[in-house]
Structure 1
Amino acid sequence: MPPRPTVLTIVILITIAVILLLRPYSATLNGYSSYYRDAFGPGRSLRTWLADEEAHYAVAIQERLELIKKWGPRDDAVDPYPTHGEFYTIWDFFVPAFQCPHRVQRVGTLGDGGKWVCGLDRVVKQDKCVIYSFGINGESSFESTLLKRAPGCEAWGYDYSVNSWGPEITGDPEVRDRAHFRPFALGGTNNHEDHDNPKYWTLDSLMDLNGHTFIDILKIDIEGGEFDALTAFLSTHAAAEGDVLPVGQLQLEIHAREGHENFEYFARWWAALEAAGLRPFWTEPNLVYINLVRGVRPELAEYSFINIRGNHALVNEAFN
């Protein structure tokens, strides 16, 4: 009669079995697997990954067109927030169908204020990097965490509704010397003469003011101003043949309300983001807003985009 296995042996065998069962799924669990860091699989380069994801993203665009045909049948006839039993909202047409080829992680506080970032491990390896943040509102955990992780980074923050960064930066000598703040507003045109209040700057003008040619991480949360501001930014760089959008990734809260919820307008604006090389890899609804203002439509959503063009840290095959 063979010996009976001990309890410890059983526990070890069960643990091994669970690990083996879960391994095939680890790559899909919220982007946290090491699969996303640099291991693209045998013979699969970063360039191949990006090309494959572009093919998948093209399928998502086709599915969007089919959904518009179903509920429109044209984009000017789609109700962004239907109330007659239709099973969709505007956000269902614009899904984050592109997978970032690096680890995706949430940076900053849980709840309102934190953002999802792609490939931070690559960004922080650079000797220097540039962070722009529009919309501070007294909470700077996102920017503070980035600066702590990346000693070579500096951050430029803008918000005309407050006078400084939040306490996460102003109260921390480790990072505050690398964080620069001005009470400016981001807009689609420049209106920053002495008599202008608030003073509006375009993104390109601020980059010129600061002597920057590239932004590694761009965060925008400006209560609907993102539409005009990004339209101007995209138009400037689309006008020059061969120009590449000078941004590595974009963390953006979109406010589809007060005229910007018009589906035809929104779809054209979103298509301009795509045409510039921006691909959404993450989204989450702003449920804090829904909870605070009960009974409202789901008008706010957080999106994160990777720029698939250029030669920056997230898409450079030779980056080490």
Structure 2
Amino acid sequence: MPSVFQRHPRYALFSGFIILATFLLLAAQHAPPLEPPSYIDAYVPNPNALESRLAQAEHTYQKMLVDRQGLIQKFGPTSDKVHMFPPDQDPWPPYTVWDFVPAAFTCPHSVERVGALGDGGKWVCGLERVARKRPCVVYSIGINHESSFEAELLSRTAACEVWGYDFSVASFGPEVQDDASLLRRAHFAPFGLSGTDAHGPEDQPPMYTLSSLMSRNGHTHIDILKVDIESWEFETLRALIRPYLEAGEPLPFGQLQLEVHVWGKKFSEFMKWWELLEEAGLRPFWTEPNIVYQNYNRGSSADLAEYSFLNIRGDNAFISDKDSFRPRGGAHSPRD
């Protein structure tokens, strides 16, 4: 006599599905908690795919530049007539300065927050691209007792080293300072970053340009540059960028995590500076307002915003497969 499953195959299929679903649910409940992945053995095999993604991202960004000019014309009609944060008026203009500079470039790799979810963490493009790179050079300028970004970056890469600078503190934050295994790849000095050098005996605090810091450390390239210098980014980046533009050379870093402080800036002044960054090949792929600051200073404008930029010029690790990424056991480049 045929069984119920033979007479009703659909019933058998349904029963099997229920059993499988129950097994998967029980397995998920007992699975270990997820941890941030390690990118030491990441592999990016197809340079043509990378080139194509970068081209598409730039095409999208160029469209945004056209849209920006339309927005300036709409609310200006020229940039000197546009407000950073328009006053309450009738009709009310629905924009702020940040609407003119969206993070319209798409990172061609994974994008993730490195460091704390609150103040201190930064959004990074393609951490896997430098996880095996030797040398892997990171500069972090502006520490302020919080080093969750630097600590996670060090813990998730094999060879990255961090050079930290901040004249307002004496060391990295506890996330790095209290971990001997991380501190071996971290180097700190109480210096400031500026558009001009001032580090003689009478100069306190000592100030260095980025190129001077790099020369001091024997570096010609920085993979990841994090800068938070309380509005001095305008003078500092302007002084840094201009010589490279005049020489027709790419900037000496692969990506930039920057907090932008627009205190007291006029729209036309800000846009001239921002367009200098774009002319040098910097493309923002992520942004977020600094809500912590705005909450602390209730009633103030949203004067601070975090931006992450990719440098699309040169052959840095985020836009070029010059330093190839190979799976475990493969042939290594001379840098490995």
Taking structure 1 as the reference length, the TM-score comes to: 0.87
Query: Do structure 1's residue 254 and structure 2's residue 260 form an aligned pair?
Result: yes
CA distance in 2, matches of 1:106, 1:208: 30
CA-to-aligned-CA distance 1:140-179 (integer Å, 9 cap, x gap) = 0101111111221111111111111101111001111211
SS in 2 for 1:65: helix
For 2:294, which of 290, 296, 299 is the aligned residue? 290
Taking structure 2 as the reference length, the TM-score comes to: 0.83
For 2:240, which of 224, 233, 238 is the aligned residue? 233
CA distance in 2, matches of 1:162, 1:145: 20
- CA positional deviation for 1:47: 1.1
Corresponding residue for residue 191 of structure 1: 198
CA distance in 2, matches of 1:267, 1:11: 61
Matches within 5 A, 1:211-222: 211-222=218-229
The AA in structure 2 aligned to 1:186 is: L
Corresponding residue for residue 205 of structure 1: 212
- CA positional deviation for 1:236: 2.0
**Is the 1:103–1:119 Cα contact (8 Å) retained in structure 2?**
yes
**Is the 2:132–2:158 Cα contact (8 Å) retained in structure 1?**
no
**Is the 1:47–1:317 Cα contact (8 Å) retained in structure 2?**
no
CA distance in 2, matches of 1:197, 1:145: 32
Q: Which runs of 5+ in 2 are unaligned?
A: 1-6, 22-42, 326-336
Corresponding residue for residue 306 of structure 1: 310
Corresponding residue for residue 131 of structure 1: 138
Matches within 5 A, 1:46-65: 46-65=50-69
- CA positional deviation for 1:218: 0.1
**Greater relative contact order, per chain length (Cα 8 Å cut-off, separation 6+):** 2
For 2:87, which of 83, 87, 106 is the aligned residue? 83
CA-to-aligned-CA distance 1:281-313 (integer Å, 9 cap, x gap) = 000110111111111100000000001111121
**Is the 2:284–2:310 Cα contact (8 Å) retained in structure 1?**
yes
**Is the 1:245–1:276 Cα contact (8 Å) retained in structure 2?**
yes
SS in 2 for 1:252: strand
Corresponding residue for residue 245 of structure 1: 251
- CA positional deviation for 1:317: 3.3
CA-to-aligned-CA distance 1:80-132 (integer Å, 9 cap, x gap) = 10122211110000001110000001000110000000000111121221110
SS in 2 for 1:102: coil
**Is the 1:38–1:101 Cα contact (8 Å) retained in structure 2?**
no
CA distance in 1, matches of 2:209, 2:103: 27
Residues 44 and 177 (structure 1), Cα distance of their counterparts in 2 relative to 1, 3 Å cut:
closer
Q: Which runs of 5+ in 1 are unaligned?
A: 14-36
- CA positional deviation for 1:265: 0.8
**Is the 1:134–1:157 Cα contact (8 Å) retained in structure 2?**
yes
Corresponding residue for residue 158 of structure 2: 151
**The structure with more radius of gyration:** 2
Query: Do structure 1's residue 317 and structure 2's residue 325 form an aligned pair?
Result: no
CA-to-aligned-CA distance 1:222-245 (integer Å, 9 cap, x gap) = 11011111111101211213x111
SS in 1 for 2:138: strand
Query: Do structure 1's residue 274 and structure 2's residue 255 form an aligned pair?
Result: no
The AA in structure 2 aligned to 1:97 is: A
- CA positional deviation for 1:203: 0.7
CA distance in 2, matches of 1:168, 1:256: 29
Instruction: Give the number of aligned pairs.
Output: 292
SS in 2 for 1:175: helix
For the aligned residue pairs, the C-alpha RMSD in angstroms reads 1.9
CA-to-aligned-CA distance 1:18-44 (integer Å, 9 cap, x gap) = xxxxxxxxxxxxxxxxxxx9598xx96
- CA positional deviation for 1:10: 6.5
